[in-house]
Amino acid sequence: MLIDGMPIMGALASVYGLNGISPSIIDQVEVIKGPQSTLYGTQALGGVVNVLTKDPANTPTLSTHAYAKSTGEGSISLAASPEADRVKGFVSGTAVRMENDFDDNDDGFSDTARRSRLALFGKGTLSGPDGERRASVAAKFYGENRTGGPPNFTDDLRGSDVIYGESIYTRRGELMAEAWPPGLDRRLRLSGALTYHDQDSYYGTEHYVGTQKIAFGQATWNQEVSASLRVLAGASARYDVYDDNTPATATAEHRLIPGVFGQGEYAIGALTVLGGLRLDHHEEHGLVTAPRFSAKYRPTEATTVRASVGTGFRVVNVFTEDHAALTGSREVVFEESLDPERSRSVTVSLEQIIPFGANPLTLSIDGFYTRFSNKIIPNYDRSPNLIVYENLDGFSVTRGFSVGGNQNFTSIPLTYNASFTVSDVYTQDAGRRRSVTYAPDFTGSFGATYTLPPIGVEVEYAGRLTGPKRMPDYYVESFGRDRWSPTHATHDLKIKKEFLGVSGPTGIGVDTYLSVENILNYTQGSPLVDASAPFDRDNDGRPFDTIYTWGPMVGRTVSVGVRVNVR
């Protein structure tokens, strides 16, 4: 996960992923499939999600967005884009509050967490005399208090051994900068970032306090050698300080990871090939190599074939990445000193544009295969009172294929997209093959947008299909729960109307929307096991747990919102 091309999302931040980034600052999200470790670091095992923050040059002078949901959640965002000569800025703030309790599955616990969130963001850019970007600086703050448990649990009861509740306080700040020195035709790019993340949490009586600090710097040189050959080379350094109060971290961990990398891209006719190599040095693990090779073949404007192979390497922080180690009443056991995960990945894809008159259909087919060694997967089945972490005595595989398509119609105001993915995710441990828990056998999505011409109302539909997932065996043996979750689907609908449109360089745009999430009100039921005895580890081998989760927890939700943009 990258922000503006920089790997500053630490292990603590990865718990909530994109949920920890305010949508009001996102310009677009790039998804790059296949092994990308050469350019983006050895943790880019099977792909990259790059969140690009908004460019002040393309944002309204003033904007606001507010919404309210039937669950009791409300939000308001305010943003402004000041400008002075060649300096442009963008500042925004978003506040979200959800303090409503409801227990539709009647398990005695609220179906969703109460939360309050504040996100602040500021970005400034400096352009050159010809309008080219010369430098940018951005700062971001994210703070959230999240509380879950019975309706009568409040933050005043954090750590209570009478009422089980979970309370997570998160504070994260980031500072990012990049520059292209003048006179080099933007061939040299310098970038750097600082981030600080603090988390203070209670899971029942289990207290977890963790901090992570990251400093990152990188320099890249992009050179066109000839009309057919382009090379990119660079050096980076990442300094990571992590500390928590768990037995796994007796003292603060300090990691300095310097690296160098290079890649060359050569085009000949319809074929483009790319090869690269990255060398990172880890103090505990020595020199780590990450080679990469990719090829693109485009015989016609309508056909593109891509293939990519590469390797990855990842040091795992168990407690920061897997909160199941802290929730419930299970004891965490480390069988051994955990070695880093390593991976080898292969991806192949075909994109074909099929002409249908003026309404071409874009069809894509992707195949993927990643083999992990030293994979660290929590074992819930060794004992009902334990979660055991160890490196696999074998390997783990993620493989599958996906098919997708999208089409825009000109004769009618309709666009649609659909995709379907089949996955086989398993471990081979000590000669025994098993499906990985919580990994669905298949997923699908479908979306369509239709504009009603007479009144200018836009109707959007989105559906998601999730196949069966293997659940931990001890649920089956001790509680009679299903070994596999059922196949299920959720459906969302959104109706949007623009009342005023921005025309020309100035103007006011106002649009409102009504959305209904989970239209069919499908929920999985309670995810809890033995909710009546949350602190009893020895309750006839039936420990309280919070992680029998495979589907939606919240039913039908109605939202109304309004956006105003002033240019």
Pick from 2, 6, 1, 5: nearest CA to 215:
6
**What number of residues does the chain have?**
567
Q: How many angstroms separate the CA atoms of 527 and 105, rounded?
A: 9
Q: pTM of the entire structure?
A: 0.85
Domains of the chain: 328-567 (2.40.170.20)
Pick the residue with more confidence: 349 or 540?
Answer: 349
The region, left, alpha or beta by phi > 0 then psi within -120 to 50, assigned to residue 16 is alpha
Q: What are phi and psi of 212, to 5 degrees?
A: -140, 130
Structure tokens at 316: 């795992």
Q: Which residues make beta-bridge pairs with 404? A: 364, 419
pLDDT at 31: 86
Average pLDDT over residues 220-238: 94
pLDDT, tens digit, for every residue of 103-145? 998 888 999 999 999 999 999 999 988 888 899 999 999 999 9
Give the single-character DSSP code of 239.
E
Average pLDDT (403-429) is: 93
Q: Out of 78-82, 507-511, 533-537, which region has the weakest mean confidence (pLDDT)?
A: 533-537
pLDDT at 563 over 90: yes
Q: How far is CA 118 from CA 30, 97, 489, in A?
A: 25, 9, 32
Residues with Cβ within 8 Å of 538's Cβ and at least 6 positions away in sequence, in order, are 385
Q: Which residue, chain included where needed, has tokens 């819930």?
A: 380
What CA–CA distance (Å, rounded) separates 273 from 264?
Answer: 8
Q: What is the mean pLDDT of the chain?
A: 86
DSSP per-residue codes, 73-86 = -EEEEEEE--EETT
Asked if 37 and 292 count as a contact pair (C-beta separation under 8 A), the reply is: yes
Average confidence (pLDDT) over 81-96? 93
Dist. CA 115–CA 145, nearest whole Å: 5
Pairwise pLDDT comparison (247 vs 272), residue with the higher score:
272
Largest CA distance in the chain: 75
